[in-house]
Amino acid sequence: MISVAVLIIAFGVTRLYLHFFRGKSPQPKPQRRTQPSPGIFTRFVDDFGGPFTLVMHLALAVVAFITLYLLFYSSFSKNPKGILDSFQTFAIWTRTGTVAHVHPAYTYITWLVRQEAPLLFLGAIGAAVVVLRPRNSFALFAALWAFGLLAAYSLIPYKTPWLLLNFIVPLALIAGYAVQAIYELDKRQLRLTGVVLFIAAAVASYQTVDLNFINYDNDNSYYVYVYAHTKRGTIELVDKIDEIAKQEAGGLTGISILSPDYWPLPWYLRNYSRVGYYGRLAPSTEPILIANENQKAEIESEYGEVYQQVASAEPGGSFELRPGVKLVLYERRKGLSPPAELPPIRQP
């Protein structure tokens, strides 16, 4: 909804600004004036090829929007309730938008400087150029779109890194216009354009490789996109589970997850058909138990005779799922046979 509002405002301001700017610019005096100049709305309709073409474009846009909306939010008709949920989410968002993930107003600027500096600085240059010299209507629209979204989201206390994606796209567009403006100043030698492009591409490429392949779970303040992400200790946990399962029943091996925090384990354990997500201490005879580190004393007190801990390589032997969440893994001691009849497993 914020994006829709900003897009409408950006479009209207673009039309008004260009109309005002052209009105103030010196125009060649016509020799003969046969009819009054068309208004801003008339010129807009004419640019689209007339009223019929404009109405057709709007109708097709509405049909495309509704079709995609229904398909995606219903999971291609597999979850019709998702359409209703897409509206109910606004009620939840209004309750949590002022209490969860609260950050200062300047947070998005700080995050952009750290992880999207080429787009931010070139986008600012492109916006300044097109505002002072509005020769390209789409560039002006992209500038208002990008920085309008940045301003709107900055005013809301709720801030998360994934919301940056909303204004990275228009920032990239107006940053491209900045490169075009630099090129127009330096058409003959192209040295400045080449230097700007090289620096921007080098910084962006380095950050891409660093974030995706090296520090993808480094949650210090520099790597802003690593926000409550899964730690690589989760992979070690899954590998240990696979090792135990090979000695048991493979994909049919029973796993009881007693920790209240376990996401995204359901995704990692999707090939196992007997996984129970209890979220608390519960009786279990399955070959594998997974609990929160805070439950360790209770687990060893209640199940110590039946289960033994499978330690990780980290100090303490736990597996870090994500910041602040550490899990402990237990396997049934060798020589203890499973019950003749397995209890039902409750799926998540």
pLDDT tens digits along 127-151: 999 999 988 999 999 999 999 999 9
Which residue type occupies 38?
P
Q: How far apart are CA 166 and CA 261, in angstroms?
A: 29
Question: Pick from 316, 318, 299: which is nearest to 308 by CA?
Answer: 299
Check residue 300 and report its DSSP letter: H
pLDDT digits (tens, 9 = 90+) for 296-327: 888 888 777 888 888 887 777 889 888 888 99
- Per-residue pLDDT averaged across 253-258, rounded? 89
pLDDT value for 111: 94
Please report, in angstroms and rounded to a whole number, the separation of the first and last CA atoms in the chain. 31
pLDDT digits (tens, 9 = 90+) for 51-78: 888 889 899 999 999 999 999 999 998 8
Domain ranges for the chain: 104-229, 233-332
Provide the percentage of residues in the chain whose pLDDT is more than 90: 37
pLDDT grade for 343, boundaries at 50, 70 and 90: very low
pLDDT value for 119: 94
Q: Is the pLDDT of residue 86 over 60?
A: yes
**Integer CA distances (angstroms), 60 to 54, 57, 65, in order:** 10, 5, 8
pLDDT value for 71: 94
Q: Is the pLDDT of residue 29 over 90?
A: no
Q: Is the pLDDT of residue 346 over 50?
A: no
pLDDT value for 47: 77
Which residue type occupies 147?
F
pLDDT value for 204: 93
pLDDT digits (tens, 9 = 90+) for 179-206: 999 988 877 767 888 899 999 999 999 9
Q: What are phi and psi of 175, to 5 degrees?
A: -65, -40
Write the secondary structure of 54-113 as one string of H (helix), E (strand) and C (coil): HHHHHHHHHHHHHHHHHHHHCCCCCCCHHHHHHHHHHHHHHHHCCCCCECCCCHHHHHHH
Q: Is the pLDDT of residue 345 over 50?
A: no
- Per-residue pLDDT averaged across 38-43, rounded? 69
Q: Is the pLDDT of residue 28 over 60?
A: no
Answer with the residue of higher pLDDT: 229 or 63: 63
pLDDT grade for 25, boundaries at 50, 70 and 90: low
